[in-house]
Amino acid sequence: ETAVFQTPNYHVTQVGNEVSFNCKQTLGHDTMYWYKQDSKKLLKIMFSYNNKQLIVNETVPRRFSPQSSDKAHLNLRIKSVEPEDSAVYLCASSPRERLFFGHGTKLSVL
Amino acid sequence: GDQVEQSPSALSLHEGTGSALRCNFTTTMRAVQWFQQNSRGSLINLFYLASGTKENGRLKSTFNSKESYSTLHIRDAQLEDSGTYFCAAEAGTQVVGQLTFGRGTRLQVYA
């Protein structure tokens, strides 16, 4: 049963547009994450956010930014999408150890 | 090279049989998690291990941090076990939850 909710499921856009993906967790966890899964299914950490402390993977381009209103929400904004941003974006939350993932948002950039 | 080397990359099993998946680590890891990604894309957390062995139904996982590997054993495979299995590990220097994933094992169980 999913307790990490992501919207939308799919999004198609054009190069240069701005997009925003939502993530909400109902597990009461303190830490949330964004991961990117590329076309070869490789998963890589993008951000982790805990109690207003943001940790950024240094390889993430600056056009990506996480946005949090409270500890149950962590959204992902991409300011000006590029073709290489096409991927599945997975949100996760964790109490301390195990990670629990949402279903993902599949982004296609034309 | 990859910090987490997962094998095999693909596996076919007849229903009722079993096999083992393995991850080798090229750096010291403090914990490992195993996930199943089903056909809908959902990543299901199967195990979290900081050491030793855990069992859950037909699945058993071991993590040996000294020898830098982890295994996932599947016995009596069922059709619904099909999917991609990932191991993911935390290095000692990383923030909790910042996982390095293996490239996955695509498992197909056939009748």
Q: What does the pLDDT look like over A74-92, one tens digit per residue?
A: 999 999 999 999 999 999 9
pLDDT tens, position by position, B8-60: 999 999 999 999 999 999 989 999 999 999 988 889 999 999 999 999 999 99
The pLDDT score that the predictor gives to residue A96 is 81
The pLDDT score that the predictor gives to residue A1 is 57
The pLDDT score that the predictor gives to residue A19 is 97
pLDDT tens, position by position, A14-62: 999 999 999 999 999 989 999 999 999 999 999 999 877 888 787 899 9
| CATH code of the domain covering residue B42 | 2.60.40.10
DSSP string, A20-37: EEEEEE-S--SEEEEEEE
Residue of A nearest to B36 (CA): A101
Please report residues of A whose CB lies closer than 8 A to that of B86.
43
Q: Do B98 and A45 touch (CB under 8 A)?
A: yes
Among candidates A44, A88, A97 on the partner chain, residue whose Cβ is nearest the Cβ of B41: A88
Q: Residue A56 corresponds to which amino acid?
A: V
CA distances (Å), B74 to each of A41, A90, B11, B16, B19, in order? 22, 26, 12, 10, 6
Give B46→chain A minimum CA distance, Å. Answer: 9
Containing domain of residue B53, as a range? 4-110
Beta carbons of A100 and B35 less than 8 angstroms apart: no
Q: Is the pLDDT of residue B1 over 70?
A: no
Q: Do B96 and A94 touch (CB under 8 A)?
A: yes
Burial of B70 (0-12, 13-18, 19+ CB in 10 A): buried
DSSP strands (E only) in chain A: 4-7, 10-13, 19-25, 31-37, 43-50, 53-56, 64-67, 75-78, 87-94, 100-101, 105-109
Please report residues of A whose CB lies closer than 8 A to that of B104.
41-42
pLDDT tens, position by position, B76-90: 999 999 999 999 999
Residue of B nearest to A38 (CA): B103
Q: How many domains does chain B have?
A: 1
The pLDDT score that the predictor gives to residue A97 is 81
Task: Look up the CATH number of domain A4-109.
Answer: 2.60.40.10
- Phi, psi for residue A69 in degrees, rounded to 5: -95, -30
Q: Which of A2, A9, A40, A45 to mutate to test the interface with B (most CBs of B within 10 A)?
A: A45
Q: pLDDT averaged over chain B? A: 94
The pLDDT score that the predictor gives to residue A2 is 66
- Phi, psi for residue B79 in degrees, rounded to 5: -55, -35
The pLDDT score that the predictor gives to residue B91 is 85
